[in-house]
Structure 1
């Protein structure tokens, strides 16, 4: 009979839990990736991410700002325009996001499915 004590006591790392609480939400990673090269106005963000609603974009941006990953800046205008840029903490995600992109190109290249040669 196998000892399952160790497996039962194993828990998910707190850091990973916090990461996936934020990045597990739809659109969050795409927003951060779109902001990686530099500041982007709200309307341009909306156009860059097909399928996201204005309300959802606004909600995700507020959430990212509250975590300290981005800053909302108001350009007085006229016209009044709002742009968003990543903080140092947000920019520090670049290598992780690039690595995830490389992983996806290798392992999810078959229309979002893992090719048979990797299913062993």
Structure 2
């Protein structure tokens, strides 16, 4: 299989012949997941370690219980989060990033650095480890 060649800066999103190419499939898949509202913040809340549902909800102000449940279920189905039932009493559920989820740490840190440099204002409750 041939190695993919890097595009030159002049080519950008244009193909070598100058015509428009289809969107990069990798970046398209990334934003299909991370581009959903709340997903990045839920992941960021888990970057420092496991969290229980209520802890994650407090770390992501404004998210509803239903939306948090949906996002955690989706992240688990994608292999980014593991849901663990802790035997009680009381019975508790914790959520932990998988190795695949933790592999997003450098990308999220870089996105945070970029936002700090190029977007006005500061996002509330951004974990310190993602600050430039």
* TM-score tier after normalising by the smaller chain length: 0.7 to 0.9
Distance 1:7 1:54 in 2: 46
Secondary structure of 1:6's counterpart equals coil
Secondary structure of 2:19's counterpart equals helix
1:55-112 CA-to-partner distances (Å, cap 9, x unmatched) read: 000000000000000100011111111110000000000000000010011001x237
Secondary structure of 2:32's counterpart equals helix
Consecutive unaligned residues in structure 1, runs of 5 or more: 113-120
Match of 1:59 among 47, 67, 70: 70
Secondary structure of 1:37's counterpart equals coil
Runs of 4+ more than 4 Å apart: none
Distance 1:46 1:33 in 2: 12
Match of 2:32 among 21, 40, 53: 21
Question: TM-score, normalised to structure 1's length?
Answer: 0.84
Distance 2:35 2:85 in 1: 28
Question: TM-score, normalised to structure 2's length?
Answer: 0.77
Q: What is the aligned partner in structure 2 of residue 80 from structure 1?
A: 91
Q: What is the aligned partner in structure 2 of residue 111 from structure 1?
A: 121
1:1-37 CA-to-partner distances (Å, cap 9, x unmatched) read: xxxx7333x1111111110110110000001111011
Distance 2:31 2:70 in 1: 17
Aligned length: 107
